[in-house]
Every structure is written in C-alpha cells, then in structure tokens.
C-alpha cells in the first residue's frame, strides 16, 4: 500500500494551497457576509486550468488524477468552501459530457468549461423530486428535430453564472426512471421558448455559491443536444454523482482541516488558569478526537479517489467517503467552536462559518441517508 502522492499531485496541492491561503482566505469573510459570487477566485482558478483539472487534455483540461482533483477541492475549501462548490459542480458537468457525449458534443461544450469561458450547472432536483429523482415532472417531448422542455428544477448551483446546463427530463413519464434522458441546454443559443432563472436562494451557508430555481416553458432545443441514448439520463446523472461525491468528501475534509488547524493553534496560545488550554485534558482529548476523525476521513476519501483512478467501481466507496467525511466535519467544526470558547461564536473568526457551510455537504449530491441506502444496496440489503 502506497500512501505517497505522485510528484504531480504534490505540485498541484502546493500550487492550490498557495493560491487559496494567499488570496481566497482573505476574501472569504466578505464573500460570506455579503453573499458575493467569488468572481475573482474563479478567474484565478481558470487561469491555472483548475476548472478542467480532470478533463482530458484534448478537450482543454489538465488530465490530472482524481486524487489531484480531491486535493484541489480540499485546498480550496480550507479557505473558501463556496468557491469549491462552484468548481465541483462545473467539473461534474464537464465530466458527464466527456463520459457520455458524442465527439461533436465533447468538442462543442467541454473546452468552454475547462477553459473557464462558462461554468456548468447540473439540473436534477425538482420541488417534488429530491432524494427520488425518478419521480421528476420535467418533460422533454420530441417534435420533429427538436425537443420541447417544460418544467422546473430547484436548488441549481451556478444557475446564474452558467451557460451550459445539464438537464435531466422525462421523455416518457409512463416509463418512470427509464424515460429520463439527459440534455445539454446552452443558454446563449436558445432560439425559442423561455428559460427563466429565479433569484438566488437565501441560505444558511455557502453564501458565495448562488443556487436558484430554473423554469422551462416550451423551451426548444435541437435533438442533437440529447446526451447519450433515450432513457439513459438517470444513469448519466448517478454516474456523475459517483465522482461528485468524492468532491463533496474532499470539501468536507478541507473545511474540517481548517477548523482543526485553528483549534490546535488556539489551544496552544490561549491561556486560562495560568496555562495553555491545550494542557487541559478536556480540551486536548477533544482535539485528539478531531484528529482521529480527520485522518479517517482523509483515508476513505483518498481510497475512493484512488479506486476511480484505477478504473475500479467505487460507487459504494464514494458514498462511504461522502457520508463519513461530511459527518466527521460536522462534528469537528462543532468541537472547534467549543475549543475557541466565545471567539468560536464570533464572526471575527471563520469557525461559525465552517459549521454553517458544512451543513449543506450532508444534503447535496444525495443526503447522507441516501448514501446509506447506496451502501446497503451494495451489500445486497
């Protein structure tokens, strides 16, 4: 078993670490407090080719490993979790097109994402179809050489800043999940019908990542925009989530690492009763527990990333990593607030933001109950 990162992975990690710590960290408080979309962070990541890190070189990406991708998201999240969500969803859309698109679709869309000309949006959830996407109501009706889309999607990350939307819609509701197909909607090329983006949701965290409802009203898109075959849409979406969940685990790991580092430093510096608070077992054992959870999260996350890089089926391992790392990070960020006492509750420090931001990771890309469902099914239960 080799726990070493490759030379390339070490280099990518160091590059993103420097960018995130020197630039993103100081911007993150304002981004959170004013719900600002982190334009500058995204621009700097795009300049380094990090919006297409795991996309193949021939489509404008860096063709880095999934391990590198995990490291990138972890490093960004240590400074600004909102920025990492934007990158993770964009990458997921690029990867889905790379995995399931025909050559023309790949040439058309992926370079725009990988080179940072546009972000990507992944459109699966609806008001009455969250954990159970097969019950979606959005329809796609083939008329001549075009599809007509009608319906609504909810909670769409990047909707207000994307031109490329990967939309799952049902071609034949009688067939249930087997009627769902995937479509690429390029907003700037819409010729007929309406495509409306709602205002950003008001959320408890990840305030720099804007999330909106979107509405299709007789939206006409060419038949050639269907990704994969008829009825393959849910499979395409779920396959995307296998990699996406490694990204969410990596985000959680980054947020937890930042909370942990701050706790260790604070426990060494803050004195009460004439000594550093870290000398009290009540504090040091909390930090030891945080460290155990952090290291275990890193192991399960890297295992899933490694399996993806080896071409092994990693559906269950991605779910394990996502559920474990996000719940560990939830505990770690809560304990970090306690270690910092009143300062943990203050907006002067980012501890309270870490704990707000982490909540979404337990929900999106499948709630942690759904991850347990995936794990149980993989065990034949």
Residues designated catalytic = 365
Least distance (Å) from ligand FAD to the CB of residue 65? 24
User: How many CB atoms are closer than 10 A to CB 3?
Assistant: 8
Which one of 163, 367, 375, 378 is in contact with ligand FAD (CB under 6 A)?
A: 367
Quick check: 353 and 340 in contact, CB under 8 A? Answer: no
Task: Give phi and psi for 224, each to the nearest 5.
Answer: -70, -5
Task: Tell the smallest beta-carbon distance from residue 276 to ligand FAD (Å).
Answer: 38
Phi, psi of 119 (to 5 degrees): -90, 170
Rounded CA separation 243/91 (Å):
10
> What mask, x for binding ligand FAD by CB under 6 A, covers residues 158 to 197?
----------------------------------------
Which stretch, 217-225, 262-270, 275-283, 358-366, contacts ligand FAD (CB under 6 A)? Answer: 358-366
Q: How far is the CB of 57 from ligand FAD (least distance, A)?
A: 27
Place of tokens 């679709």: 105
The stretch among 65-73, 269-277, 333-341, 365-373 that binds ligand FAD (CB under 6 A) is 365-373
Whether residue 185 contacts residue 149, with contact meaning beta carbons closer than 8 Å, is answered with yes
Does position 240 interact with ligand FAD (CB under 6 A)? The reply is no
- Of residues 54 through 73, those in contact with ligand FAD by CB under 6 A are none
> Tokens 């996407």 sit at which residue?
133
Q: Phi-psi category of 181—alpha, beta or left, where left has phi over 0 and alpha has psi -120 to 50?
A: beta
> Do residues 114 and 51 touch, judged by C-beta distance below 8 A?
yes
- 12, 76, 119, 123: residue in contact with ligand FAD (rule CB under 6 A): 123
Q: Does 6 bind ligand FAD (CB under 6 A)?
A: no
What is the rounded CA–CA span in Å between residue 164 and residue 49?
18
CB of 129 or CB of 287, closer to ligand FAD: 129
Q: Please say which residue, 65 or 212, places its beta carbon nearer to ligand FAD.
A: 212
Give the interface segment with ligand FAD, choosing from 24-32, 275-283, 311-319, 362-370 (CB under 6 A).
362-370
Cα–Cα dist 189/220, whole Å: 10
Q: Which CB atom, from 9 or from 242, has the smaller least distance to ligand FAD?
A: 242
Count of residues in contact with ligand FAD, rule CB under 6 A: 21
- Asked if 95 is part of the footprint of ligand FAD (rule: CB under 6 A), the reply reads no
DSSP conformation letters of 155-224: EEETGGGEEEEEEEEES-GGGGGGGEEEEEEEGGG--SSEEEEPPPP--SS-TTS-EEEEEEEEEEEEGG
- Residue 151 binds to ligand FAD (criterion: CB under 6 A): no
Using CB under 6 A, which of 69, 155, 165, 306 touches ligand FAD?
A: 155
Provide, rounded to whole angstroms, the least separation between the CB of residue 219 and ligand FAD. 17
Q: How far is the CB of 166 from ligand FAD (least distance, A)?
A: 9
Of the candidates 97, 206, 339, 358, which one interacts with ligand FAD according to CB under 6 A? 206
Q: Which is nearer to ligand FAD, 155 or 266 (CB)?
A: 155
Least separation, in Å, of the C-beta of 243 and ligand FAD? 15
Quick one: three-class SS letters along 209-264? CCEEEEEEEEEEEEHHHEECCCCCHHHHHHHHHHHHHHHHHHHHHHHHHHHHHHHH
CA 215 – CA 225 distance, rounded (Å): 18
For ligand FAD, the binding residues (CB under 6 A) are 89, 122-125, 130-131, 155-157, 203, 206, 211, 360, 363-364, 366-367, 369-370, 373
């Amino acid at each position: 078993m080799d726990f070493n990162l490759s030379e390339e992975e070490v280099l990518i990690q160091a590059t993103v670490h420097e960018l995130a710590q020197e630039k993103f960290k100081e911007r993150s408080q304002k981004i959170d407090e004013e719900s600002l979309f982190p334009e500058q962070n995204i621009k700097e990541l795009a300049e380094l080719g990090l919006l297409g890190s795991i996309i193949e070189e021939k489509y404008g990406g860096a063709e880095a490993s999934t391990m590198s991708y995990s490291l990138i998201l972890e490093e960004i999240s240590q400074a600004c979790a909102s920025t990492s969500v934007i990158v993770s969803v964009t990458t997921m859309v690029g990867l889905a097109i790379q995995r399931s698109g025909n050559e023309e679709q790949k040439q058309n869309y992926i370079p725009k994402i990988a080179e940072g000309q546009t972000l990507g949006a992944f459109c699966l959830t609806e008001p009455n179809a969250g954990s159970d996407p097969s019950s979606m109501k959005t329809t796609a009706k083939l008329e001549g050489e075009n599809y007509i889309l009608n319906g609504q999607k909810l909670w769409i990350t990047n909707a207000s800043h994307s031109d490329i939307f990967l939309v799952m819609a049902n071609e034949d509701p009688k067939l249930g999940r087997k009627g769902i197909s995937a479509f690429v909607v390029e907003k700037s090329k819409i010729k007929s019908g309406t495509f409306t983006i709602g205002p950003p949701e008001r959320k408890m965290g990840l305030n720099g990542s804007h999330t909106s409802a979107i509405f299709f009203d007789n939206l006409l898109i060419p038949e050639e925009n269907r990704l994969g075959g008829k009825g393959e849409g849910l499979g395409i979406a779920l396959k995307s989530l296998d990699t996406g969940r490694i990204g969410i685990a990596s985000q959680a790991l980054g947020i937890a690492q930042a909370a942990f580092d701050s706790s260790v430093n604070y426990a060494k510096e803050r004195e009460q009763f004439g000594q550093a608070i870290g000398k009290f077992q009540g504090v040091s054992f909390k930090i030891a527990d945080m460290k155990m959870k952090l290291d275990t999260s890193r192991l399960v996350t890297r295992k899933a990333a490694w399996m993806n890089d080896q071409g092994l089926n990693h559906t269950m391992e991605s779910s394990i990593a996502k559920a474990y790392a996000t719940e560990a990070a939830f505990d770690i960020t809560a304990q970090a607030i306690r270690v910092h006492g009143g300062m943990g509750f203050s907006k002067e420090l980012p501890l309270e933001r870490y704990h707000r931001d982490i909540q979404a990771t337990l929900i999106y890309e499948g709630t942690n109950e759904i991850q347990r469902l995936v794990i149980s099914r993989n065990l034949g239960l």
